[in-house]
Structure 1
């Protein structure tokens, strides 16, 4: 595979250029630099008094209810409850100008309909469903606390603290808060690292932008310094972290175009399905699981990851060579025939995923008849699927072109005795 790296690199670059034109999308609202910001200069400085934290909540009318509640609430739930109450208070709220400009809905998986969930990649669907169920659970398990807040509400609590209201608040905190460590207190349970930062949260994410962000204990401001710099009249960006697009969609509800960190994940179920004819497959999967080798199996535009190829090399070995399995996980090479089998299996996996991606994109086209919120959800998933299609196509090119038919001898059961 090394001999093809130069050619594969050119092909991958072409794919990425094509991908950029496919998934490039408007970043929506953002912040423009009115003057050139040089590397190292302040991009934004937000005073502590402008930050919405658990201290804000505990010092508010909500504080007495949270401080007296047992068991103690999580910092996340305290912030969510405050946002729901503040939105309920409307213009009477001191935070109304901020709450009023927050999105009315989000494109995070907790908002996804069942139809949208169904067209997600298998590798991300399970986590998306878990997110939706987690928000439902938070709502159902805290009904007693919500009912205790009736004295500060001018409507029945069940009309204010609905599942939809909590979901909105949860997504607002999850997608828009910055990391800021707070000292522990006697009223909340768990790590407290959230801070909602009005105005600052208008800064959009760009994968290749570098910034330094933290709370300055001297100035008592949350500060972001630009490492890359920003030209005058250009949009100023920040970086949420080195996340692939599946992570960005799960946590923030968007997909970043031309994300250099993006990969396609290979699930254990897919491995089992592709290799179901192997008589010793169960034992190999068990061995890989025990050695923590079944997660983060990926392919990128450059080709399969080292972890995936290492797992496939082990899967290429028969049970008779069990004494070599651990050595292969540590990097020992296999014979040419088994290396070729591993490459061909990687191609099969990519083609299987590519077929699933094409099917999903066809379904998305048929589903684009719903309301605006569903359309927005589908747009995010469509971008993710289009990126996946580009990555898989580039990976297949890197692996050396077209795939032979599935009945090729090298794709048959590896558990035979003619190996070295």
Structure 2
């Protein structure tokens, strides 16, 4: 479940200095920056009836906003734009508690008596999902219609993907995407009795209102848009309750290099966001969901972040086993790595294989007769030059295999795009962006590994035990 547990908003403008380093830009740099800024346009959305209705709804609940307006941007789509320059440390937005959609909102609604009396207790996530479905069904009769009406009609999260799109994902994301899809299906199917109990508040049959498609939409709405806000435990609900849907605030887009402070202020009873870096007038304000790579962003939020410094490619255990299948002690080594929690986050970046991946490969380079060294290798011990060269060579093979899979996936996506219509095209385009980024990372990593091998003198084959990797 994705919650925006780390909130980082407001940049020094999308094109300002956000690294804290000052450089004297030359004429060519200034020209490039000017062209980039000129190519990115925005258009205000505040005059559209949907946004007028939303702002009126929020103002009635005590929210006033003079710093931000909804706008559409050529590079990110819908977002929020600053109306005047914001200085570092200044309050950017303060959303009253009455504007937040939480489980308390639902418990105090027409659904409250049904939820409070239901046994076993329902989860906060389920309660919010059901409320969103019912409010969308009620249309303009809903108190929350101005907000629900602006929620996306569909999402580009894997839970929405059909099998063809799912198969185009990298192995690690595909596995987690399938698990996510199964979890949503299970939540839907296991609560049919509760859904049927809500018939008295619906003007159509529950089977027509609380469909899987509607429930999936609501689940994605909560999963991709809720902010982290700890609530007091409720005797009517089961499990931790940390969800809050925040109208207007959730129009903010993610960017990896922004910083802010954000939390619920118990004194003012508002969710407040304070700028760290400040931003220039008429530039876009951003939110940061945390230090997530693009695979995580796609899985949980349904989008890819360009120029993401946290981007990596994951090495799946099945791929490791296939590349190293000649090692007769492979099963024992896999078991040893798993027992030591060393099979997660084996990654490759543009700078090369991660320390965890190289360490795992060092273990694979050892024969079973050197079992006494396995633990010390996990603690960081390096090996002889010949084995280190083997490790680099094996990492190169892994890169090549991953790159081959990436090219195959890109070809498949290209073919599917010619046959598909919206919204399948949107899903494919997000997956294609992920795969294209993966191609760049693997290509640069191969260059790093090739350079590393060139710098090593030619070595004699490593004298290995009969049980060692061949």
Q: TM exceeds 0.5?
A: yes
Q: Residues 161, 288 of structure 1: CA spacing in aligned structure 2 closer, same or farther, 3 A cutoff? A: same
Alignment correspondent of 2:450: 400
Alignment correspondent of 2:424: 374
Q: Measure the CA separation in 1 of the matches of 2:176 and 2:313.
A: 15
Secondary structure of the residue aligned to 1:400 is helix
8 Å CA contact retained: 2:327, 2:467 = no
Cα offset, 1:102, TM superposition: 0.4
Q: Measure the CA separation in 2 of the matches of 1:211 and 1:411.
A: 54
Alignment correspondent of 1:252: 301
8 Å CA contact retained: 1:279, 1:415 = no
8 Å CA contact retained: 1:180, 1:215 = yes
Give structure 2 stretches of 5+ with no counterpart: 1-35, 37-72
Q: Measure the CA separation in 2 of the matches of 1:337 and 1:62.
A: 68
8 Å CA contact retained: 2:350, 2:441 = yes
Give structure 1 stretches of 5+ with no counterpart: 1-19
Q: Measure the CA separation in 2 of the matches of 1:89 and 1:413.
A: 74
Q: Measure the CA separation in 2 of the matches of 1:254 and 1:411.
A: 46
Q: Residues 168, 409 of structure 1: CA spacing in aligned structure 2 closer, same or farther, 3 A cutoff? A: farther
1:208 paired to 2:257: yes
Alignment correspondent of 2:142: 93
1:180 paired to 2:180: no
Alignment correspondent of 1:109: 158
Q: Residues 93, 304 of structure 1: CA spacing in aligned structure 2 closer, same or farther, 3 A cutoff? A: same
Over aligned residues, Cα RMSD in angstroms?
Answer: 2.2
Secondary structure of the residue aligned to 2:78 is coil
Secondary structure of the residue aligned to 2:386 is helix
Q: Measure the CA separation in 2 of the matches of 1:109 and 1:29.
A: 21
Secondary structure of the residue aligned to 2:263 is strand
Q: Measure the CA separation in 2 of the matches of 1:99 and 1:135.
A: 21
Q: Residues 417, 26 of structure 1: CA spacing in aligned structure 2 closer, same or farther, 3 A cutoff? A: same
Q: How does 1:20-419 map to 2 (within 5 A)?
A: 26-368=75-417, 369-401=419-451, 415-416=465-466
Alignment correspondent of 1:9: none
Secondary structure of the residue aligned to 1:282 is helix
Q: Measure the CA separation in 2 of the matches of 1:323 and 1:221.
A: 58
TM-score, normalized by length of structure 2? 0.81
8 Å CA contact retained: 1:215, 1:223 = yes
Q: Measure the CA separation in 2 of the matches of 1:213 and 1:415.
A: 57
Bigger helix share: 1
Secondary structure of the residue aligned to 1:387 is helix
Q: Residues 315, 418 of structure 1: CA spacing in aligned structure 2 closer, same or farther, 3 A cutoff? A: closer
- Deviation string, structure 1 residues 254-280 (Cα, Å, up to 9, x no partner): 000010011111111111000111111
TM-score, normalized by length of structure 1? 0.90
Q: Measure the CA separation in 1 of the matches of 2:446 and 2:277.
A: 34
Q: Residues 266, 409 of structure 1: CA spacing in aligned structure 2 closer, same or farther, 3 A cutoff? A: farther
Cα offset, 1:323, TM superposition: 1.2
Cα offset, 1:409, TM superposition: 10
Secondary structure of the residue aligned to 2:164 is helix
Q: Measure the CA separation in 2 of the matches of 1:388 and 1:375.
A: 20
Q: Measure the CA separation in 2 of the matches of 1:164 and 1:410.
A: 61
Q: Measure the CA separation in 1 of the matches of 2:349 and 2:274.
A: 31
Q: Measure the CA separation in 1 of the matches of 2:75 and 2:412.
A: 23
8 Å CA contact retained: 2:166, 2:177 = yes
Secondary structure of the residue aligned to 2:334 is helix
Q: How does 1:8-27 map to 2 (within 5 A)?
A: 26-27=75-76
Q: Measure the CA separation in 1 of the matches of 2:314 and 2:214.
A: 33
Number of residue pairs the alignment of both structures matches: 394
Cα offset, 1:416, TM superposition: 3.6
Secondary structure of the residue aligned to 1:230 is coil
